[in-house]
Amino acid sequence: MNFKPTWRAVFFVAAWVIVYLALDPATSSLVSLLPLPSGSKLTEAIRFFLYEAPKVLLLLTIVVFVVGIIRSYFSPERTRQILGKRSLFLGNILASMLGIVTPFCSCSAVPLFIGFVETGIPLGVTFSFLIAAPMINEVAVVLLFGLFGWKTALIYVVTGLAIAISSGFVIGRLRVERFVEDWVYAVKSRNLTLDSNPTRDDRVHAGFDAVRDIVSKVWLYVLIGIGVGAGVHGYVPENFLAGIMGKSAWWSVPVSVLIGVPLYSNAAGIIPIVHALLEKGASLGTALAFMMSVIGLSLPETIILRKVLKLPLIFIFVGVVATGITIVGYLFNFIY
Amino acid sequence: MTIKVLGPGCMNCKTLAGRALEAVQQLGINARVEKVEDIQAIASYGILRTPGLVIDEHVVSSGMVPKVEEIKALILKQSGNVSR
């Protein structure tokens, strides 16, 4: 038996804990060494950046590692098998939750859609998966946790799930089968058996691969985002946005969603910006709605899906999800 | 031998096609590397994730970009299966 990768994982986690514990004192002493006038705007901005950037990057690394390992237990093939015999409502719940842990990239949305439909998974259940998978991901959760605390992260996951479940359910009830491109139903794919039975070593490798893959892709966005956040933190007066993105502006939620839907950014790019918005007086519901519509819906994704969905279903899909996001936005503005 | 890379032209698909070509060159075998971008054709292989790698009509991987060394091993394995 070969323990090597497992030991590597143990060392990695141990080193991570040590660095994490040392981080706060280290940044504090670093900041105190800098020749910065205390209380100036620049000092505040730099301080913010030096504290937040390493903390968020560290959190990101460990979570991506753990999620990488968890995801090695899931695959779209397996998810499809689990969803195969489910009824509508239960299926929607399961599909949304599996959407979080199943490895998915929106570039694979089309083959996945066809594969699901071919197995007889109801359309509404398939949509629940397609909504949850991009919207709720580990990068989003880590950033929310790192910048806002666990409550906001939890709210995001729960409301994201609720939107995926209910949107999928509504779409399923609308009987939209006729709006799927006809050829999709005609696809007869050969039975694919990619037998993979990952060992523990493979799973650890999957974790490290995920770190290499994802962190190398998003670290720059994280830094830029926190940099923007730091600038806003130091220079833009508080409550600057209260008038246009605050609670009192009833139209702020739908307008944020309308702006957010066509835009696309990954979670790493948008969350630090949301952080800055919130700090300057935007209300939580409005900021959350903006973020969800940017990550969850996008023009590129609908263009990809247009290959398998007729135009009316594209509009139904975007319309239902955007409505769900708007409701969530209002709900939070109302509660907080 | 025919090697097909299934994918609608995303970043990973291009990387995979490049690596497949490199693997073929390194092995010095006579093989053609084709890109399959038509979505119906891709779907007919039954993969749920792109990019897919197909060697002589056998799907050998999907949803990941194997390293050049791994592709070489897959090619050798597949050609071994055929000759035996």
Same domain, A51 and A88: no
Same domain, A131 and A213: no
Residue A35 lies in a domain: yes
Low-confidence winner among A5-14, A208-217, A265-274 (lowest mean pLDDT)? A265-274
Mutate to test the interface with A, among B11, B36, B40, B48 (most CBs of A within 10 A): B48
With a cut of 90, say whether residue A210 has pLDDT above it: no
Same domain, A139 and A211: no
- Domain of residue A175 covers 80-190+235-335
CA distance A106 to chain B (A): 10
Same domain, A63 and A177: no
**Mean pLDDT of all residues in chain A?**
85
CA distance A104 to chain B (A): 8
Q: What percentage of chain B reaches a pLDDT higher than 90?
A: 35
Mutate to test the interface with B, among A80, A82, A83, A107 (most CBs of B within 10 A): A107
The dihedral over CA atoms of A128, A131, A135, A137, expressed in degrees to the nearest 10, equals 50
pLDDT of residue B21: 92
Could you tell me the CATH number of the domain that includes residue B67? 3.40.30.10
Please list every residue in chain B whose beta carbon sits closer than 8 Å to the beta carbon of residue A188.
Answer: 44
Among chain A residues, CA nearest to B8: A107
Same domain, A33 and A154: no
pLDDT of residue A192: 66
pLDDT of residue B82: 54
Residue A230 lies in a domain: no
Same domain, A293 and A168: yes
pLDDT band of A23, cuts 50, 70, 90: confident
Number of structural domains chain B divides into: 1
pLDDT band of A132, cuts 50, 70, 90: very high
**Helix ranges (DSSP H) in chain A:** 4-33, 41-71, 76-83, 88-101, 109-118, 123-135, 138-148, 150-173, 182-186, 200-210, 216-235, 242-245, 252-260, 267-279, 284-296, 299-305, 311-335
Please list every residue in chain A whose beta carbon sits closer than 8 Å to the beta carbon of residue B59.
Answer: 192, 194
Token match 């999620």: residue?
A67
Please list every residue in chain A whose beta carbon sits closer than 8 Å to the beta carbon of residue B45.
Answer: 189-190, 192
pLDDT tens for B34-73 read 999 888 888 888 888 889 999 998 898 888 888 899 999 9
How many CA atoms lie within 13 Å of A327's alpha carbon, on the beta-carbon side? 13
Same domain, A250 and A320: yes
Which of B12, B43, B60 has the CB atom closest to A189's CB atom?
Answer: B43
Distance of CA A106 to the CA centre of its chain: 12
Same domain, A278 and A329: yes
Residue A198 lies in a domain: no
Number of structural domains chain A divides into: 2
pLDDT band of B4, cuts 50, 70, 90: very high
ipTM value greater than 0.85: no
Residue A87 lies in a domain: yes
CA distance A168 to A191: 27
- Domain of residue B31 covers 2-83
pLDDT of residue A171: 94
With a cut of 50, say whether residue A41 has pLDDT above it: yes
With a cut of 90, say whether residue B24 has pLDDT above it: yes
Same domain, A149 and A38: no
pLDDT of residue A162: 95
Low-confidence winner among A87-101, A247-261, A313-327 (lowest mean pLDDT)? A247-261
Residue A192 contacts B, CB cutoff 8 Å: yes
Residue A162 lies in a domain: yes
User: What mean pLDDT is predicted for residues A295-299?
Assistant: 87
Q: Alpha carbon of B36 to those of A81, A104, A105, A204, B65: distances in Å? A: 26, 21, 19, 32, 16
pLDDT of residue A3: 59
pLDDT of residue A224: 83
The top-scoring range by mean pLDDT among A133-142, A173-182, A201-210, A215-224 is A173-182
- Do the Cβ atoms of A115 and B59 come within 8 Å? no
Phi first, then psi: what are they for A181, rounded to 5°?
A: -55, 135
pLDDT of residue A6: 84
pLDDT band of A44, cuts 50, 70, 90: confident
User: What mean pLDDT is predicted for residues A216-235?
Assistant: 80
Mutate to test the interface with B, among A108, A112, A195, A304 (most CBs of B within 10 A): A108
Which of A108, A190, A307 has the CB atom closest to B49's CB atom?
Answer: A108
Please list every residue in chain B whose beta carbon sits closer than 8 Å to the beta carbon of residue A307.
Answer: 39
Which of A75, A114, A192 has the CB atom closest to B59's CB atom?
Answer: A192
pLDDT band of A90, cuts 50, 70, 90: very high
Residue A228 lies in a domain: no
pLDDT of residue A2: 54
- Do the Cβ atoms of B49 and A111 come within 8 Å? yes
pLDDT of residue A196: 65
Q: Which of A32, A62, A1, A30 is nearest to A211 (CA)?
A: A62
Tokens representing A22? Answer: 């040392």
Residue A325 lies in a domain: yes
pLDDT of residue B84: 43
CA distance B66 to chain A (A): 12
CA distance A216 to chain B (A): 15
Higher-confidence position of B9 and A321: A321
